[in-house]
């Protein structure tokens, strides 16, 4: 029996998978733009940005950059996810520091340190072992 008869359905499945993937990427990009626009409208209504607003906009920038880089390289860098996590935890600490107990502050600070070390580890692993393609992350 030949495997040629499965090539048509297999290629169709790959096409559907790619279309689904692109649809979700565009939906994610649109959601980021929409959320950023809402945030900017709130900043304008409040008469200017607070630190909380600025940090939120940086999260949107990082998420948008992640999608843009994926379209350019067809790769999703785990480092960007770690950067988003670091920014989100930093935002939480900066905004809610007065309401947090010492243990929570230490835990969140430790989480940021671990995430920062993980970025270093990812960069070192890429340097030592290379990446899937010739371009750098």
* Burial (0-12, 13-18, 19+ Cβ within 10 Å), 129: exposed
In a domain, 53, yes or no: yes
Cα 125 from Cα 128, distance rounded (Å):
5
To the question of pTM greater than 0.85 for the whole model, the response is: no
The pLDDT value recorded for residue 9 is: 82
How many other CB atoms sit within 10 Å of the CB of residue 36?
17
Evaluate whether residue 63 is within a structural domain: yes
On whether residue 136 sits in a domain, the answer given is no
pLDDT, tens only, 95-121? 998 899 999 999 999 999 999 999 999
Structural domain includes residue 134: no
Whole-number average pLDDT of the chain: 87
Tokens encoding 102: 């010492």
DSSP state of 46: T
Residue 18 domain boundaries: 3-129
Instruction: Give how many domains the chain has, as a whole number.
Output: 1
């Amino acid at each position: 029996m030949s495997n040629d008869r499965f090539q048509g359905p297999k290629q169709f499945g790959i096409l559907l998978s790619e279309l689904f993937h692109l649809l979700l990427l565009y939906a994610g990009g649109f959601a980021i733009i929409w959320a950023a626009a809402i945030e900017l409208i709130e900043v304008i209504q409040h008469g200017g940005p607070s630190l909380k607003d600025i940090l939120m906009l940086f999260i949107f920038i990082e998420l948008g950059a992640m999608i843009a880089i994926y379209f350019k390289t067809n790769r999703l860098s785990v480092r960007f996810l770690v950067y988003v996590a670091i920014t989100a935890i930093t935002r939480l600490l900066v905004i809610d520091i007065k309401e947090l107990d010492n243990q929570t502050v230490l835990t969140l600070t430790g989480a940021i340190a671990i995430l920062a070390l993980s970025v270093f580890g990812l960069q070192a692993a890429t340097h030592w072992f290379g990446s899937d393609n010739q371009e750098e992350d």
